[in-house]
Amino acid sequence: MDSTTQVITVLILLLALVISLIATQFIRRRRDLVALRSIPAYQSLPLLVGEAIEANRPVHLSFGSATLGGSSTLLALASAELFYQTAQRAAIGAVPPIVTVSDTTAIPLGQDTLRRAYRSRDLLERYPRGSVRWYPAGPRSLAFAAALTATLGDDRVANNVLVGSFGPELALVTEAAARRNQGVIAASDQLEGQAVAYAMSDQPLIGEEIFTAGAYLGESAAQTASVVTLDVLRWLLILAITVPTAIEVVNAITDGRLWQNIGNLARALGGQ
């Protein structure tokens, strides 16, 4: 990494930190003035949980093959935050949520997610220790997809939140859910799985939307500020790309006279 890249990286990190700190303090004082951009999946999730509670049926949450200690660690933690927010809402129902994983390292993560959700409702005595299920075996596993398909029917699942690491086998699960009129919110870090999620789920999550569950479904000012920071940096990046490009295009059309005119204007203003 050359010195210019290092300087730019440090400036971006400092800018992100400053925006995040300012936004956090502002949101803590006037949260009602911050309007996050709409994400349909997060808007519909409380309704899906409510339908499951009214039908006395479980909500199915799946990490797929997301794992701790590997390349999908951040994805697993982001999925756990989304599942915590979902399980917290479902905890007041009579039937606990079902969490499925394909990697053994995700088992304690799933158990802790459910435990925290029930503890936040002061219902720790009802914590369902057997609701986290491991099915074999690894990424793009047809055996795992078949097990999930059987779970949808055997446990009379109401709705599904499939956010983690899935490949094209996700199509088998979403198709089985569609046949049973079950709602699906899906996302994957794999290109094939994300394509299936976009085409077959009711409300897909795309890109960094997976990492914003706490801001949209929780009450944390810091998490909301992180989303605001991401949006601000996104617009700054767009401006940093489009403005120089537009200037160069105009300069090419005017045969280089644009910079000359700008220089003449600057000298004229300086002379005044």
Counting as low any pLDDT under 70, the low residues of the chain are: 1-5, 7-8, 12-13, 15-35, 138-140, 220-222, 249-272
* Cα 153 to Cα 149: distance, rounded to the nearest angstrom: 7
Are 189 and 72 in a shared domain?
yes
How many other CB atoms are there within 10 angstroms of residue 267's CB atom?
10
* Cα 137 to Cα 175: distance, rounded to the nearest angstrom: 21
Whether 104 is in a domain gets the answer yes
Last residue of a domain, one of 186, 201, 219: 219
Are 72 and 24 in a shared domain?
no
Are 213 and 245 in a shared domain?
no
Structural domain harbouring 10: 3-31+225-260
Could you give the number of structural domains in the chain? 2
* Cα 237 to Cα 241: distance, rounded to the nearest angstrom: 6
Whether 271 is in a domain gets the answer no
Are 10 and 109 in a shared domain?
no
Per-residue model confidence (pLDDT) at position 228: 72
Are 42 and 91 in a shared domain?
yes
Are 20 and 44 in a shared domain?
no
Are 170 and 104 in a shared domain?
yes
157, 133 in Cβ contact below 8 A? no
Per-residue model confidence (pLDDT) at position 108: 94
Q: What is the pLDDT of residues 135-152, one digit of tens each?
A: 977 666 788 999 999 999
**Stated pTM of the model:** 0.78
Are 125 and 58 in a shared domain?
yes
Per-residue model confidence (pLDDT) at position 20: 66
Are 173 and 138 in a shared domain?
yes
The CATH code of the domain that includes 72 is 3.40.50
